[in-house]
Amino acid sequence: MTTRNPAVLVLEGDVPPPRLAAIGRLADVRRTRADGLAEALPGAEVLFLWDFWSDAVAAAWPHADALRWVHIASAGVDRLLFPGLVESDVVVTNSRGVFDEPIAEYVLGVVLSFAKDLHTTVRLQDRREWRHRETERITGARVLVVGTGPIGRAIGRRLSAVGMAVSGLGRTGRTGDPDLGEVRPFGELHRALADADYVVLAAPLTDLTRDMIDAGALARMRPSARLINVGRGGLVVEKALVDALSEGRIAGAALDVFATEPLAESSPLWTLPNVLVSPHMSGDTIGWRDELSGLFLDNLGRYRDGRPLVNVVDKKLGYVTRGT
């Protein structure tokens, strides 16, 4: 248990975190932007990485002379886990839990958009074109959720509730999972893809999952299947996906994350008629920033009291393992 207010350094982005006054009651707070991180880091015991897109921590790492804990305001930690941090004794926590239900709602929304052809309806309305079409039912459609963490589980529950047949793909295979039914191990990816009408990517980006949806994986998908990516852009080989979509080898894709963000204006993904592009916003509902700050504030109270932190990341694996 700490006997003093710990020194907390907040790495800010364009928008400062809310609830800074409350954090200041538990800690001695300093604030910096990425270009000042190296100068501000000495003496900091805790780093609150509010600017979770920043790569500045790796460059400033030699100046981390007192650091014991890093908290990142995102669920993904792949940008943060450089070798120096991974090999250190510094604890890393993430913001797991904030985005689960909003992302599950987004996935349901794009599934309905594909099934009911709503994206085409909007385009036809813009052109004042009356064109009758038949659409699909989602009841009974088969969904493969890749990633069995809390986001994948929330997606499984949401899609099961509307009558879809859900299965999962995770580290270990099992049956009777309460949220995902049958879960196959990652080694059975290609077999699992062949059975799915919708493939939803909700896995973290690790050495195991990087580029997992490549040309070979896409070739295993049904021509009528759709790919939905709410995990990380690096899960998908974008060139292979563009080819599969352009040639009609899969029916569509909804993409909220990309290998390079923002997505380049020259990317063919913008103009393919069977693609829905959103700018990494599937989990960002009204009040999300306050929830992120609240999670850090709760963990800061735990840190001061000497209680276990929540959302501790296994730095070797690249994600939180407890409860998954």
So which residues are the catalytic ones?
A: 232, 261, 280
Residue 283 one-letter amino acid: G
Structure tokens at 206: 């690790």
Residue pair 190/304 in contact (Cβ under 8 Å)? The answer is no
* The 28-32 sheet, strands edge to edge: 28-32, 7-11, 46-49, 69-72, 91-93
- Tokens representing 79 are 């940008």
The separation between CA 30 and the C-alpha centre of its own chain, rounded to angstroms, equals: 28
| Buried/exposed 185-210: b ≥16 CB within 10 Å, e otherwise | ebeebeebbebbbbbbbbbbbbeebe
Closest CA to 79 of 52, 46, 48, 41: 52
d(CA 77, CA 36) in angstroms, rounded, equals: 22
